[in-house]
A and B are shown apart, each in its own frame.
Chain A
């Protein structure tokens, strides 16, 4: 490399300058993401920033052994490209995996720094490294568990036992204790590896008790931890590009986590330590006798065709049944008949923030048909039919009326205010959180029992066969 001839001081300032360019690109990238019209330009500028930073790094005169770096870059590309090409239904687990990779990268760099710096490591540096490695390690295993739950390799229900929170806190306490020992005795044998192992264990214990319905919050929170890890690594390495990238990623994850919590009317502590989902197995049975009204695809098609306005409320069940493409066909056939169809999106519908939007976008539903919860609710009294596809708790009126309900206070899409409600559901079994939904027993509600994809497909067949 001919640039090796450059004088090192000049090269250093060139590198610094390139990193500043990268940072500017990253900030612009996020700014342009704010609207769908400019968002793709945002990706491009982000890519340019990343490329500038990576290429410049190779001119660092301290670097001598490149072959393993090139092999590792190749390996990264081989892993990364398929992960960039997954189906939209698999995006939540892909995101969890990328949190795991991000945390892994940051944690192992921290570990490498520790072994390079001992025995000459001052107390302050040790605090930074220990904090970085603890958070990175727990985010790594936590994200792996989240990915496993989302991929359904692990049970999605919360796994809990008595005194769990005390045990978890004790484990975290042990990791912090190990870090404290290291601050005063950085070379204490086996303490550093022990700290890493305990932190890895804590990550597992942190996410295992959390149920699938809480995944949007957990993914956002893990995102924020990964960002924080990168920022801490920036402190350890005195690298501003890492501090900025980490701060941006961290604040993004934090904002999303706050939005998710608000959308469930719960606090962080409640999500992390509340073990939602095994509640309310009681108090049913007595009310088992209530009647529901059901309808066939033919009847449902007739009602939809007669409507002026239809609001579709999709949920995780739509993703599970892979019904989004059939739902798009329903949109097409109803639009041709002059029915105004919109989609009401609850912030926590699905398994990660914005999950429903990408699923529907993939199925070619135009994004101006998607409305947020508040807009959907203000239009609800003028809505002829609310069609719930695979959503449950986010439409449960008990959240507004029943103070004893575990979801009391959670903002919902008020489908019970529409003139007619139709709910596509496999059976009357309560949803993921195990909470009974009084919506199903209302007089204006029609239950459409069956697989979401097959049922919507039958409605579409009926509508396109009967009409024109």
Chain B
């Protein structure tokens, strides 16, 4: 078994249950921003992509790593941007538009 497998499994289970409990409480009103935000958080794979692309290796791993960096980083930038844009639109009545 690879190093850390059992430990990672613990983390996975706990994070899964935690995610379930936290996300269950998100109002259906915000389900679209929720999906945009989790996409942006998931884009943290960019750190793995940076390591793959930047550490010594073949041209193949450099190319694959660079593709992954671009794809993940576009999600990170775009995801946070659109989540914030959407959330700014949600207003209560009585408060006039800025």
Give A residues with C-beta under 8 Å from B: 22, 26-27, 29-31, 33-36, 39-40, 42-43, 46-47, 49-50, 53-54, 57-58, 60, 62-66, 68-69, 71-73, 75-77, 79-86, 88, 91, 94-95, 98-99, 101-102, 104-106, 108-109, 111-113, 115-116, 122, 124-125, 128, 219-220, 223, 226-227, 230-231, 233-235, 237-253, 255-256, 259, 345, 347, 352-355, 357-358, 361-362, 364, 366-370, 372
Contacts and interface: CB of A to CB of B under 8 A. Distances in A.
10 contacts: A60-B55, A76-B69, A80-B78, A83-B82, A95-B39, A105-B67, A112-B68, A253-B35, A353-B31, A358-B32
A69 B66 contact: yes
Interface of A is mostly: helix
Interface in B61-98: 61-62, 64-95, 97
A30 B37 contact: yes
Contacts of B32: 91, 95, 352-355, 357-358
Contacts of A91: 32, 36, 82, 86
Q: Most chain-B CB neighbours within 10 Å: which of A35, A47, A76?
A: A76
Nearest to B79: A98
Contacts of A252: 19, 23, 34-35, 38
A345 B31 CA distance: 12
Contacts of B2: 122, 124-125, 128, 235, 238
Contact of B73 (A73, A85, A231, A238): A73
Contact of B39 (A34, A73, A85, A102): A102
A243 B19 CA distance: 12
B38 to A, nearest CB: 4
B93 A369 contact: yes
Given A47-B80, A84-B81, A86-B82, A42 B37 contact: yes
Interface of B: 1-5, 7-8, 11-12, 15-16, 18-20, 22-58, 60-62, 64-95, 97
A242 B48 contact: yes
Q: Most chain-B CB neighbours within 10 Å: which of A43, A64, A245?
A: A43
B64 A80 contact: no
Contacts of B44: 22, 26, 50, 53, 230, 241-242, 245
Given A30-B26, A235-B2, A357-B28, 13 more contacts: A30-B37, A42-B37, A62-B51, A68-B66, A69-B50, A76-B77, A88-B89, A105-B69, A115-B58, A256-B35, A352-B35, A357-B31, A367-B92
Contacts of A125: 2
Nearest to A92: B32
Contacts of A88: 86, 89
Contacts of A235: 2, 5, 8, 12
B41 A248 contact: yes
B53 A105 contact: no
The 10 nearest A-B residue pairs measured at CB = A84-B81, A76-B73, A354-B31, A80-B77, A80-B74, A80-B78, A366-B93, A251-B19, A247-B15, A354-B32
B73 A26 contact: no
A76 B71 contact: yes
Nearest to A71: B66
Given A84-B78, A234-B8, A36 B93 contact: no
Contacts of A57: 47, 50-51
A245 B42 contact: yes
Contact of B15 (A43, A66, A248, A361): A248
Contacts of A43: 37, 80, 83-84, 87
